[in-house]
Chain A
Amino acid sequence: MRVNNIKREFNKGLWEVNPLMRQLLGMCSTLAITTTVMNAIFMGLGVMFVLICSAFFVSLIRKIVPQEVRIAVYAVIIATFVTIVDIFFKAKFPLVSKALGPYVPLIIVNCIILGRCEGFSSRNSILVSVLDGLGMGLGYSWVILVLAILREILGSGKLLGISILPNSYNPLIVMVLPAGAFLILGLLLAIMNSIDIKRKG
């Protein structure tokens, strides 16, 4: 395997086929948990862990899984790792676990993970699959981090729970409400489109 190739598999998830912005996968958790930066960090780590582990196992067993039951097998693999993440968060970070609530178990149906298992890991070698998982995981994480930073600052004037804007700032409460999530993600998508247009033009 050439170094170039490896680099490409890793890089593509960051921008070119970014799972969130380009493929519009995994929207639910993205919009729901980006109210604070802390939540976004933990969610990003959780998704990355599940992505990499399931990419490894799906790739490992890709030749022995019968075609008909493959989705169910992937779902069980993913659910197993999600359960591990959930129990770990509950034990070590009870506050974060409470804030994330049902969105940790909902990683199971995060289409990014099933999508990568089905579309990539099931037909590629272990090394490439893990790299792909890592790239996609980082691509997901940076987007939710940016989203969370914007929403937390605009919506409450805080960053990681510490006030950073002067007291005279009147928080735009709508930003931490569901409506704000849709609005900010829409604007972010438009900004990304304009960067792409500039690059090409």
Chain B
Amino acid sequence: MKDIVTIFISAILINNLVLYYFLGICPFLGVSAKIESALGMGMAVIFVMTLANTISWLIYHLVLIKLGITFLTYIVFILSIASLVQIVEMVVKRFSPSLYKSLGIFLPLITVNCAILGSTLFMIAKDYNFIEAVVYGFSGGLGFTLIIVIMASLREDLDYADVPSIFKGAAITLITTGLFALVFMGFSGLISA
């Protein structure tokens, strides 16, 4: 139980996928201009990342290891994530049109969100058991959402700031993110290694 709490907290605050592992930076820069779209993206990521970790764990331990074909891991993982996203999209579209409206455009983008593939690879590398893997997927997604939403609110304010012309756009966003990562380093003492 203690392990699970540790995984949960460290995935959100300390080893955050965006600020610590640099994963999911592309969607992070792309959709963090508005809070609404950031929240939509975040929800989609939490959903898919939890499912992806669950399914990848099962495939890895029940199929790839049993058959001794772990060298196919990457190909199998990326294919299962791609098809998972496709299925989720179809199911959501069929059963909840309103949810589809808010998540819809973000789902296809998730296939190439490195945070998803990254979290499945980390969960294998860290040799988590099934429950730990699922918790890791969920909290990883939660950490991503937290950062992207905070960042979006900062960027909405940045629009009104008087930024030197050469820093306009991506440059100032990256520097803001850097300062932000510094702040989050303060959390690293929360759990002793």
Binding site for B on A (CB under 8 A): 24-32, 71-72, 75-76, 79-80, 82-83, 86-87, 101-102, 105-106, 108-111, 114, 174, 177-183, 185-187, 189-191, 193-194, 197
What residues of A have a CB within 8 angstroms of the CB of B25 in the complex? 27-28, 31
**Residue of B74, B113, B181 with highest tally of chain A CB at under 10 A:** B74
Give the interface SS of chain A, mostly helix, strand, loop or mixed.
helix
**Residue of B83, B114, B164 with highest tally of chain A CB at under 10 A:** B114
- Count of chain B residues with Cβ under 8 Å from any Cβ of A? 45
Pick the contact of B121: A27, A29, A72, A105 (CB < 8 A): A105
Asked whether B22 lies within 8 Å of A183 as measured between CB atoms, the reply is: no
Asked whether B113 lies within 8 Å of A182 as measured between CB atoms, the reply is: no
Asked whether B177 lies within 8 Å of A109 as measured between CB atoms, the reply is: no
**B111 on the A face (CB < 8 A):** yes
Asked whether A106 lies within 8 Å of B170 as measured between CB atoms, the reply is: no
**Alpha-carbon distance A154/B170, docked complex (angstroms):** 23
Asked whether B22 lies within 8 Å of A186 as measured between CB atoms, the reply is: no
Asked whether A102 lies within 8 Å of B118 as measured between CB atoms, the reply is: yes
**B11 on the A face (CB < 8 A):** no
**B178 on the A face (CB < 8 A):** yes
Pick the contact of B166: A28, A72, A106, A190 (CB < 8 A): A190
A29-B22, A178-B181, A181-B178 given; name 10 further pairs at CB < 8 Å: A28-B23, A76-B78, A79-B79, A109-B113, A110-B114, A178-B19, A178-B22, A183-B174, A186-B178, A190-B167
Contact string against A for B residues 96-124, beta-carbon threshold 8 Å, 1 for contact and 0 otherwise: 00000000000000011110111001100
